[in-house]
A and B are shown apart, each in its own frame.
Chain A
């Protein structure tokens, strides 16, 4: 197994030591270890410094962390001054976080979850779930490979490589897909559950949903939807207890 492949595998655990001080830092150091191995033989002092830098504070979307990992590793081999590498890492945090979150958490995941929910409601069952898992993980695996490769190939010029890549266009396209899929899934799921109960129960559940939307907006951030649901259940149990 070569260093690049081992580093890619380790990137799947990049959040394994997530904390509020270094965030992904230690996970990045763990993923960097196989890539920095060759530096040990060439320049042991530089290797020690590079390992220490690799585990410092870092935060971004985990699926795009390979871009920063590859770029900083290449910079270490090119003997770029340490402070410049630290600046590169820091500069990459925000764009990789924003782009990755927009692409994965606000785009791809809701799109695929929405599609899977529609599939389940329409009777696809396991196939819908398998389709969701396979599609997401295929895209993610490819993105991880691409990120690490582009990072290693571009080094300190990784910013322009990201700008010229498919990422900005993909974000533009996946956002409407996510909105459409979730928009379609919500009424379908509602009908899937409520058609067995009849009209009056359906109106009751719709009333709970409306109250939930309104109250969690008025009393945000204290009243989350989970707290609303639990409060509504407790209220219901009290009403039933007193015989309403």
Chain B
């Protein structure tokens, strides 16, 4: 993406909004997985290859997240879309690091905005507690539509902010080639650490660890053969 033209920003922001909604609210169809969000964002920005490379790095980070109960986690969906807006059109070896830095900051911000939406939902429920206790279906519907609207607004604002920041960084930040390459290697290394952490945590020392080790062996073998 060479400049912030509306015909690029609008589809990216709409896609980021859908991706933001998908994470928790509706429909949880997994379009918010960075691999999907990034590749589609790359296609929208005219560089599927960059979208795929950036999406895979964020997918490694997302493998460290187990969204159970009331656990707090970063929101990688809109963050990946914004990262792709920054990295599209650049050689991936140079663009991946800086894109990841932007995306990771936005992912943390996204996780924080999820808490804001949840608190806002709770306040809305408190305001309608009498109607809920009386069994008013209309109150439930209003609360539900309000919750969805708040989450959609969250995804929209987050993606718009990210895409605008991506435009500003492309315009004003100048890094030498060595620094860009080093940032890319740090992003890849950190992503691998995140995925490995997630895998170790979910397998523990149980029988599943043997499957993890067998998979890693198969992966190394396949990597050597291809």
Please tell me if the beta carbons of B188 and A205 are within 8 angstroms of each other in the complex: yes
Complex interface: chain A residues within 8 A of B121 (CB): 17-19, 26
Bound Cα distance from A106 to B39, whole angstroms: 24
Binds B, one of A66-74, A84-92, A116-124, A157-165: A116-124
Question: Knowing A27-B144, A55-B140, A137-B30 touch, does A180 contact B70 (C-beta < 8 A)?
Answer: no
Please tell me if the beta carbons of A179 and B105 are within 8 angstroms of each other in the complex: no
A125 at the binding interface (Cβ < 8 Å): yes
Complex interface: chain B residues within 8 A of A18 (CB): 24-25, 118, 121, 147
Selected contact of B118 from candidates A20, A50, A137, CB within 8 Å:
A20
Please tell me if the beta carbons of A196 and B214 are within 8 angstroms of each other in the complex: no
Please tell me if the beta carbons of B101 and A230 are within 8 angstroms of each other in the complex: yes
Please tell me if the beta carbons of B30 and A133 are within 8 angstroms of each other in the complex: yes
Bound Cα distance from A33 to B213, whole angstroms: 48
Please tell me if the beta carbons of B219 and A51 are within 8 angstroms of each other in the complex: no
Contact-residue bracket for chain B: 35 or more
B11 at the binding interface (Cβ < 8 Å): no
Q: How far is the CB of B131 from chain A (nearest CB, A)?
A: 9
**For window 160-214 of chain A, which residues contact chain B by CB distance below 8 Å?**
175-194, 196-197, 201, 204-213
Complex interface: chain B residues within 8 A of A52 (CB): 132-135
Question: Knowing A133-B29, A189-B60, A229-B186 touch, does A59 contact B69 (C-beta < 8 A)?
Answer: yes
Q: How far is the CB of B99 from chain A (nearest CB, A)?
A: 11
A236 at the binding interface (Cβ < 8 Å): yes
Q: Mark B115-142, 1 if CB is under 8 A from A, else 0.
A: 0001101101110000011111100110
Selected contact of B193 from candidates A132, A180, A197, A213, CB within 8 Å:
A213
A79 at the binding interface (Cβ < 8 Å): no
Complex interface: chain B residues within 8 A of A50 (CB): 135
B187 at the binding interface (Cβ < 8 Å): yes
Selected contact of A225 from candidates B181, B182, B194, CB within 8 Å:
B194
Selected contact of B141 from candidates A30, A175, A187, A230, CB within 8 Å:
A30
Please tell me if the beta carbons of B179 and A186 are within 8 angstroms of each other in the complex: no
Please tell me if the beta carbons of A233 and B195 are within 8 angstroms of each other in the complex: no
Question: Knowing A50-B135, A225-B61 touch, does A213 contact B216 (C-beta < 8 A)?
Answer: no
Bound Cα distance from A196 to B49, whole angstroms: 15
A13 at the binding interface (Cβ < 8 Å): yes
A49 at the binding interface (Cβ < 8 Å): yes
Bound Cα distance from A120 to B108, whole angstroms: 27
B10 at the binding interface (Cβ < 8 Å): no
Q: How far is the CB of B159 from chain A (nearest CB, A)?
A: 18
Q: List 26 A-B contacts (CB under 8 A).
A: A13-B26, A13-B144, A15-B26, A18-B25, A21-B125, A26-B147, A29-B140, A63-B28, A97-B69, A101-B68, A117-B59, A120-B35, A125-B48, A129-B36, A136-B30, A137-B29, A140-B29, A175-B208, A182-B199, A183-B213, A185-B215, A189-B60, A208-B190, A209-B193, A228-B193, A233-B101
